[in-house]
Amino acid sequence: MIEVLIIVVIIAILIALGFGLMGLLKGGSQGSDKMFKSLVTRVALSVALFIFVIFSGYMGWIQPNAVVFDAPTIQAPIQK
């Protein structure tokens, strides 16, 4: 359920990016206002998503992937 919410917020960020592109293409005062609103929306959603992911990890709702740093070791030759 948490993963679905994260994906929905990412899609909302991409939609806001698209609205910003439309404002860029429109140009002028209206386009500038549209781009500014899109930027504010993207920044707010991104910060909220970042805080939510950190909080979810803290609460144990999501688990990070296991990273294994176990590299193979080379054994020295046996001295006779």
Q: Report CA 8 to chain centroid distance, whole Å.
A: 11
- Sorted by where each begins, the domain ranges of the chain are 24-56
What is d(CA 63, CA 54) in angstroms, rounded to the nearest whole number? 11
**Global confidence as pTM:** 0.73
* pLDDT per residue as tens, the chain (80 positions): 888 999 999 999 999 999 999 888 888 888 788 899 999 999 999 999 999 999 999 999 988 887 777 666 677 677 76
